[in-house]
Chains A and B, each alone.
Chain A
Amino acid sequence: MSAYIIFGLLIALMLTGMPISIALGLTVLAFLFCLSDITIETVALKHFTGIEKIEIKAIPFFILAGNFLTHGGVARRMIRFASSMVGHWHGGLGLAGVLACALFAAVSGSSPATVVAIGSILLPAMAKQGFPQRFGAGVITTSGSLGILIPPSIVMVIYAVSTNTSVGKLFMAGVIPGLVLATLLGLTTWYRARKNGYPRLARASLRERLIALRDSFWGLLLIVVVIGGIYSGIFTPTEAAAMSAVYAFIVAVFVYKDLNLKQIPKVLLDSASMSAMLLYIITNAVLFSFLMTYENIPQAMAQWLLDMGLGAMGFLLMVNLLLLLAGNVMEPSSIVLILAPILFPVAMQLGIDPIHFGILIVVNMEVGMCHPPVGLNLYVASGITKMGITELTIAVWPWLLTMLVFLLLVTYWPLLSLWLPRQLGMM
C-alpha cells in the first residue's frame, strides 16, 4: 500500500515540472509527516550523511577535469590526431569524429560534455567540407554518448554508490563494450558515407600523424593516468579523479596555454554548480531510498517481480524497456538513483552479475540521451548546429538503431562486459 502512495506522489510531483530533487525530497517529507513513525528530523541528518561517502567525491573532480579538458584545447588536438589516423577512409571527418569522441570519452565522464567538446569544433568543420548537417549531427550526438560508457564515467560512479558495487570494476568492465560500440558506430558512419559518397580527407603522411600524436600526447597520457592508476591500485577512483583534475588544469593552462588564468574561476564555478546539482539529487535520492528500505519496498517489489516468473532473460528485457521508457523523461543520474536500488535486489536474486547489470544500465542511459523528448545529447547538438529537435531525431536514427542492437548484445552476452575485469583478476 505505502508503495503505491510513495510512487503515486513522486510521479505526480515530478510531472508538475518541479526539480527532480525537490520532488524526491517532498515525497519523503510528506510521507514521513503523515504516515510514518520515523521522526522527521532524520531528513536533516540524511541531508548531511547522504553525501559523506567518499566515492561520491569523484563526481565533482571528474566534472572539473572534464571542463578543463573541454576548454583547454585537448579536444581540438584529439580531433586532429583522429582525423590524421582515419580521415582518409570513407566517412572522413565523420569517422574521425567517432574516434575523437571515443578518445575524449576516455578522459571525460560525461556524455553531453563529450558532445560539446568534440561537436563544437568538428561540426562546423564538417559543414565546411560539404557534409550534410544531418550526418555530422547524427555521428556526434550518438558517439558523444560513449562518454559515460568508456571510463571514467559519472553515471557509473552514481550506480556504484547507490548499489555498493566497486567503481574500479565497473570502469574496467566499460572498456570493451565502449570499444565495441565505438567500432559499431564507426562502421555505421563508414557505410552511410560510402553509400552517399561523402568527402574524404587526403591520407596523412606518417610525419603528420606523428606530429598530431605528439601534439595530443598530453591529453592521451591522461587516459593512462586514470585507467592505469585505478587498475594498478595506485589511486582510488576518487583520487584518480582529483589527479586528473589537477593534471587537466596543468595541461590546459601551462602546456597548451589555451586557457588563461582569468578563465579559471568561471570553469571552477561551472563545475561546482553542476556537481552541486548532482549532489543535491543524490542527497534526496539517498533520502528516498532510505524511506523505501524502511518500508521494505525493494524487497516487496523484488518478490512481486520474482513471482511473475520472468526469469533472468525476461527480467532483463523488462529492465531494458523500463529504462528506455524512463530515458524519455529524465536524465541519467536521476534514473539510476531512483531505479537502481529497486531493480538491483531482483537482479541479485536472479543471479545476474552486479557489474554486468551496471553496464547494461549505462548503455540504456546512452540510448536515452540520444532520443527525444529529453535526450540531453540531442539538446546539446541542437545548440551547436541550430537544428530543430525533430530534424535531429531523424538525423540520429541510423546510429540509434546501431545502439539498440548493441544494447541487446550487452544485455544477453555478459561476457562482453565481464571478460576484461576477470582477465585482470579484479573479480
Chain B
Amino acid sequence: MKFLDHLEEWLIASLLAIATLIIFVAVVHRYASGISLLQDFALTINMSWAQELCIYLFVWMAKFGAAYGVRTGIHVGVDVLINCLSERTRALFVYFGLFAGALFTGIVGFLGAKLVIGIYETGQVSADLELPMWLVYLAIPLGSFLMCFRFLQVAWNFHRNGELPRHEVAHVEGLEPERT
C-alpha cells in the first residue's frame, strides 16, 4: 500500500516536471532555429513531437493526480447543506457521496478498458510519436480504477475512525510568520 502511494506521488510530480521542461525546451528550440549562429544545430533536432507528448503526459498526470486527490481530499463539493445536518445524517450523505464517486469512476474505468481493447485491435498509432494509441488511452481505465479504489479506501477509513481527508488550503509550508 505504501508502495502504491509513493509510486502515485512520484508519477504525477515527475510527469508535471517533464511536461514543463519539454515545453520550455520546445520554445527555446523554436527561437534558436531563428538565430543564424545556432540554426544549423537547432535544425538537426526535430521537436514537432513536443506538443503531442506534453498532451499525453498531462492526460496521465490528470488521471493519476485525480486519484491522489481523492486520498488527500482535494475534490470539494457543495457541503454547505449537509454540514447543517446532524452528525448521523451527515455521515449517511458522506457515504452516499463516496460510493457515488466509486460507482462513477468504476463505470468509467470499465468503459475505458473496453475502449482500450477496441483501440488495441485497430492498431492505431499517434500522429507524431507513433506511439500505440491504446497505451495512451490506458490512462483512463488505470486512473479511474485507482480512483475508484481510493474512494472505497476513504469510505473504509471513514467507517473505521470517522475521519475524512481534508485539504488545507490555508496551510503553507515554508512561509512561517517569523520570516517577516
Q: Which residues of B contact A331 (CB under 8 A)?
A: 76
A263, B170: Cα distance in complex, Å: 18
Q: Which residues of A contact B9 (CB under 8 A)?
A: 265, 269
Interface residues on B, range: 35 or more
- When each residue 144-180 of chain B gets 1 if its CB lies under 8 Å from chain A and 0 otherwise, what string results? 1000000000000000000000001111111101011
User: Assuming A18-B77, A23-B77, A60-B61, is B66 touching A280 (CB within 8 A)?
Assistant: yes
- Cβ of A388 < 8 Å from any Cβ of B? no
Tell me if A268 and B114 are in contact (CB < 8 A): no
User: Assuming A246-B24, A272-B13, A283-B62, is B78 touching A329 (CB within 8 A)?
Assistant: yes
Nearest B-chain residue to A56, judged by Cβ: B58
- Cβ of A279 < 8 Å from any Cβ of B? yes
Q: Which residues of A contact B33 (CB under 8 A)?
A: none
A111, B173: Cα distance in complex, Å: 18
User: Assuming A44-B140, A48-B59, is B82 touching A16 (CB within 8 A)?
Assistant: yes
- Cβ of B69 < 8 Å from any Cβ of A? yes
User: In the complex, how many angstroms separate the beta carbon of A33 from the nearest chain B beta carbon?
Assistant: 9
Q: Which residues of B contact A16 (CB under 8 A)?
A: 77, 82, 93, 96-97, 100
A121, B179: Cα distance in complex, Å: 7
Tell me if A17 and B82 are in contact (CB < 8 A): yes
User: Assuming A22-B97, A269-B13, A280-B75, is B54 touching A44 (CB within 8 A)?
Assistant: no
Tell me if A277 and B27 are in contact (CB < 8 A): no
A272, B72: Cα distance in complex, Å: 12
- Cβ of A374 < 8 Å from any Cβ of B? yes
- Cβ of B108 < 8 Å from any Cβ of A? yes
Which chain A residues (176-204) contact chain B, with CB distance < 8 Å? none
A379, B79: Cα distance in complex, Å: 14
- Cβ of A25 < 8 Å from any Cβ of B? yes
- Cβ of A403 < 8 Å from any Cβ of B? no
Task: Name which of A236-244, A404-412, A419-427 contacts chain B.
Answer: A236-244
User: Assuming A60-B19, A277-B75, is B97 touching A19 (CB within 8 A)?
Assistant: yes
How many chain A residues touch B (CB < 8 A): the figure is 78
Interface on chain B toward A: helix, strand, loop, or mixed SS? helix
Tell me if B27 and A235 are in contact (CB < 8 A): yes
Tell me if A57 and B104 are in contact (CB < 8 A): no
Q: Which residues of B contact A64 (CB under 8 A)?
A: 16, 20
User: In the complex, how many angstroms separate the beta carbon of B70 from the nearest chain A beta carbon?
Assistant: 8
Q: Which residues of B contact A13 (CB under 8 A)?
A: 100
Q: Which residues of A contact B173 (CB under 8 A)?
A: 71, 263, 266
- Cβ of B23 < 8 Å from any Cβ of A? yes
User: Assuming A17-B93, A272-B61, is B12 touching A374 (CB within 8 A)?
Assistant: no
A35, B59: Cα distance in complex, Å: 30
- Cβ of A120 < 8 Å from any Cβ of B? yes
Q: Which residues of B contact A380 (CB under 8 A)?
A: 169-170
Residue with the greatest number of chain B CB neighbours at <10 A, chosen from A125, A128, A263, A277? A277
Which chain B residues (102-127) contact chain A, with CB distance < 8 Å? 103-105, 107-108, 111-112, 114-115
Q: Which of A15, A41, A71 contacts B78 (CB 8 A)?
A: A15
A330, B173: Cα distance in complex, Å: 26
Tell me if A19 and B170 are in contact (CB < 8 A): no
Q: Which of A51, A116, A243 contacts B175 (CB 8 A)?
A: A116
Nearest B-chain residue to A271, judged by Cβ: B16
- Cβ of B80 < 8 Å from any Cβ of A? yes
Q: Which residues of A contact B179 (CB under 8 A)?
A: 76, 121
A381, B172: Cα distance in complex, Å: 12
Tell me if B13 and A61 are in contact (CB < 8 A): no
Interface on chain A toward B: helix, strand, loop, or mixed SS? helix
A112, B80: Cα distance in complex, Å: 19
- Cβ of A209 < 8 Å from any Cβ of B? no
A25, B175: Cα distance in complex, Å: 37
- Cβ of A306 < 8 Å from any Cβ of B? no
Tell me if A379 and B77 are in contact (CB < 8 A): no
User: Assuming A18-B97, A57-B54, is B65 touching A275 (CB within 8 A)?
Assistant: yes
User: Assuming A22-B101, A43-B108, A121-B179, is B170 touching A273 (CB within 8 A)?
Assistant: no
Q: Which residues of B contact A263 (CB under 8 A)?
A: 173-174
Tell me if B97 and A71 are in contact (CB < 8 A): no
A239, B62: Cα distance in complex, Å: 19
User: In the complex, how many angstroms separate the beta carbon of A278 from the nearest chain B beta carbon?
Assistant: 9
Which chain B residues (1-21) contact chain A, with CB distance < 8 Å? 9-10, 12-17, 19-21
Q: Which residues of B contact A22 (CB under 8 A)?
A: 75, 77, 97, 100-101, 104-105
Q: Which residues of A contact B80 (CB under 8 A)?
A: 328-329, 373-374
A263, B13: Cα distance in complex, Å: 12
- Cβ of B35 < 8 Å from any Cβ of A? no
- Cβ of B37 < 8 Å from any Cβ of A? no
Leading 6 A-B pairs by shortest Cβ distance: A383-B170, A276-B65, A18-B97, A19-B75, A242-B23, A44-B111
Supply 22 A–B pairs (Cβ within 8 Å), ascending by A: A18-B100, A20-B75, A22-B75, A25-B108, A43-B107, A48-B137, A51-B62, A54-B55, A116-B169, A121-B175, A243-B24, A268-B13, A272-B65, A273-B65, A273-B69, A275-B61, A276-B64, A276-B69, A279-B62, A331-B76, A379-B169, A380-B170
- List 12 other contacts, CB 8 Å, given A47-B140, A329-B80, A379-B169: A16-B96, A17-B82, A22-B77, A45-B115, A54-B51, A60-B61, A246-B24, A271-B16, A272-B15, A276-B61, A277-B69, A376-B169
